[in-house]
Amino acid sequence: MSRLAILGAGNGGQALSGHLALEGHDVSLYELPAFAEKLQPISEAGGIELTGTIEGFGKLRCASSNAQEVVDGADILFLVVPSFGQVPILKEILPFLRKSMRLLFIPGNFGTLEAAALLREKGISVGLSETDTLPYACRANSPGHVHVWGVKTGVSFASFPSKETPGELEKIQAVFPFKLNPLSNVLESGLSNMNLVVHCAAVLLNAGRIEATRGDFRFYTDGITPSVGKLQELVDAERVQVGKALGLDLPDAREWVRRAYSLKGDSLYELLSKNPAYANHGPDAPKSINHRYVTEDVPNLLVPLMELARACILETPITRSVVTILSALLEKDFARDGRNLQKLGLNGMSAGQIRSYVTNGKE
C-alpha cells in the first residue's frame, strides 16, 4: 500500500481520491484553506462515494486544508486542479516537499514547466510529471458524492525533463488505476490536451446559446454542430503544425477521440456529438462564457500554442483569432497574463533549444 496525496478537491480530485482508496491505497485529500468548506462533509463521512462507471466508497486517511498533514509522508502527490490553481497549491506545499516525492499534474497544461522554474528558484528538487487529460468524465453532485459517467482507456504521460520519463512512469504506474502512455516530452503532453481544440472554439460559437439559455443544453452533444466541429478542426491543424516544428508527431483530434473513447467517426462533429460518455446525462453547458473552458483553457493552452508557434517562426491565425475575440469579450489580456514563453522558462529559445531543454532540463 502506498501513501498518496490528492491536491485539489474538485470533481476530478474527489473521483481520483475515491478510486485510489478503493484500490487499497492510503489516500489523503487536500484543498486550499479558502475552499475548505467542501472538505467538511467528506471528513465527516470518512471518504468518497463513487457511483456510475465506478461504484463504491473509498475510505480516506484524511481530508484537510492543512498542507503538512496531507503531504508529510506521501510518496506521490497528484495535483488535480484547474491550471490557475496549480501554482497557488504548489506554493502552499513547498515547505513540505522532499526529494523522494513525485508530483503528477492531472492534467499538466504545461504546468510542469512553470513549476520547474519555481522549484529551481527555491532550490527544491522533486519528480515532475504530467498527463494530457483527466481520466474521468464526472461530476460531484455534492461534496463526497461523485458520479462518474465514463473513463478513458488510458492517458498520456511525460516527465520534465523527459530523460526521467521511464523511471517516473514505472513508479507512478504502480499505483495509478489507468494505463499511462509515455510521450516524448511535456510539450507533447500539453499539446495533446484536447481541451485546447474542443472547449474554446465551442464556447465562442455557442456564446449566444449559452447566454440565452444559461447553459441549458448538452455542451458536447447539442453544442457541437458541423460548423463548430469545423472550427475545432482548424485549431487542431495549427496545433499539429506547431508540434511538427517541435519534432512531435501529434495525432489529430479525431484520431485522439477515437482512441480515447473507442469510437468511430470521420469528423469531430460526429465523434463529439455522439459520444455516449457525454450524451447520456442532462444539460452540462457553461452558464456563462466567463467559464473555465475559457478562463483556464485560453491562457494555459491556446496562449502556449501561439507562443510556441512564435518561437518556431510560425503563424497560427485561427488560434490567435479565437484568443483575440474571447479576450475582448471578457475584457482580459490572455496573451499577456497566460502561460507565455517567459512564464514557461522558454523565453529567447529557438525551437531546437526548447527541445533540448524539455529533454535534459537546465544544464
For the annotated catalytic residues, the residue numbers are 199, 297
Q: What is the DSSP letter of 299?
A: I
| 203-242 residues labelled b (16+ CB within 10 A) or e (exposed) | bbbbbeebeeeebebbbbbbbbeeebbebbbbbbebbbbb
Distance CA 335, CA 331 (A): 12
E strands, 25-178, in order: 26-30, 47-52, 56-59, 62-64, 76-79, 102-105, 127-131, 136-142, 145-151, 154-160
Angle between helices 303-311 and 317-330 (to 10 degrees): 140
Q: In sequence order, what are the residues at sequence separation of 6 or more whose Cβ sits closer than 8 angstroms to the Cβ of residue 342?
A: none
**DSSP letter (8 states) at residue 4:** E
For 25, the 3-state DSSP assignment is: coil
d(C-alpha 189, C-alpha 160), whole Å:
11
Provide the CA 42 distance to its chain's centre, in angstroms: 23
Q: Is 215 left (phi over 0), alpha (psi -120 to 50) or beta?
A: left
- Residue 134 is placed in which grid cell? 483527466
